[in-house]
Amino acid sequence: MVRVLFSCPSCARHIRTTEVACPFCGGVVAEGAGAIPARAWGGPAPMTRAAILLATAAVTAGCGKETKPPETSDAGMMVVNLRDAGVIITCNTQINRLSMTELPKILDRMIAVGARAWQIQLTVPMGRAADEPDVLLQPFDLDEVFPMLAELIPRARASGIEVVSGNNIGYFGPSENILRGRTLCGHSSGCGAGRVSMGIEADGTIKGCPSLATSTWSGGTVRERSLREIWERATALRYTRDRTTTDLWGFCATCYYADDCKAGCTWTADSLFGKPGNNPYCHHRVLEMKRAGTRERVVRVEEAPGEPFDRGKFELIVEPWA
């Protein structure tokens, strides 16, 4: 299988197989360098027990108001006891301005308790996060976060912890091979909502992704239509299958990776701006803007109304790189 994109041998950025020189570092590409078989992901070791604990709060060091050392706190002891009883320990971490400096400590704690998997995701301004904009990462923070992840992920895997990058972790920076090199195509392939994922709410409402706002992304309910009909025909479910690069706007509309990425995570952009198609939380974008001496800042201009799947409204401010 020939990749449409492959990793530049010099800078590790993904480039098209038709390139004769890397557009990012200028490195010469040897003829045939892009004809690399896509890796088949072996995945983590099989989880043979049915009981799995999502122990984010318990495993995390330095979060909340806990004053005891994590290994002796009530939550820490709970994790140890469950592990000793044969329960598989995993962790789901939201990355934001409160947690980003704690990531090395979180990994230390996961290793200490024998965790088996770690999913990482950027905090998105929905629900309570929409009311605390100062907690959110700014796009330029990715310039610090991704090099840190590039160091932590190999260490986690060497300790038997499989790391899963959430859909809004990306995209196409020098760390892409580390973040997604074990997937079938070896890099991000855009939003999976309605393509490889589906959300089912308690009342039978179907969405392409469980995180998307129900008011605007419901494809209908299985109480009224069959699941097959909703999946195949509902506009909200078909969005990522039917859209093209003409649906993109802002930086994403002219991006080198527009055809492959299509603005990444729909949920992230929609939660920020009320519409998908332009996602400032992108490592490639941050690096390209830094090279031009600029950066973006997200600023809340409208508060969330206090409803389920709450969202405010944000604007992008372009400013000099400081």
Ordered DSSP codes for 119-148: EEEE--SBGGGGG-GGGSPPGGGHHHHHHH
Encode pLDDT of 138-173 as tens digits. 999 999 999 999 999 999 999 999 999 999 999 999
Q: Does residue 103 surpass a pLDDT of 60?
A: yes
pLDDT of residue 122: 97
User: Does 244 score more than 50 pLDDT?
Assistant: yes
Q: How far is the C-alpha of 279 from the C-alpha of 44, rounded, in Å?
A: 30
Q: What's the number of CA atoms in the CB half-sphere (13 Å) around residue 200?
A: 7
| Average pLDDT over every residue of 182-200 | 90
Nearest to 48 by CA among 88, 77, 16: 88
Q: How would you class 77 by CB atoms within 10 Å of its CB: exposed for 0-12, middle for 13-18, buried for 19 or more?
A: middle
pLDDT per position as a tens digit, 23-58: 999 999 887 666 554 443 334 444 443 334 444 444
Tens of pLDDT, residues 67-87:
566 666 777 788 888 888 988
Q: Supply 205's token pair.
A: 């409402």
- The answer on pLDDT for 4 being more than 50 is yes
Interval 254-298: pLDDT, tens = 999 999 999 999 999 999 999 999 999 999 999 999 999 999 999
The alpha carbon of residue 129 and the mean position of all alpha carbons in its chain are separated, in whole angstroms, by 16
What does 48-115 look like in DSSP terms, one character per residue? -SS-EEE-HHHH-SS-TT--S-TTTSHHHHHHHHHHHTTPEEEEEEEESTTTGGGHHHHHHHHHHHT-
Average pLDDT for 100-107:
96
Q: Look at residue 205 and give its three-state secondary structure.
A: strand
Lowest-confidence range among 69-83, 113-127, 206-220?
A: 69-83
Q: What pLDDT sits at residue 74?
A: 78
Mean pLDDT over the full length of the chain: 87
Which of 96-105, 180-189, 215-224, 271-280 has the weakest average pLDDT? 180-189
pLDDT of 307 over the 60 cut: yes
Is 172 within 8 Å of 186 (Cβ atoms)? no
Note the pLDDT of residue 32.
Answer: 64
Mean predicted confidence (pLDDT) in 97-102:
96
CA distances (Å), 229 to each of 193, 209, 222, 237, 240, in order? Answer: 16, 17, 9, 10, 17
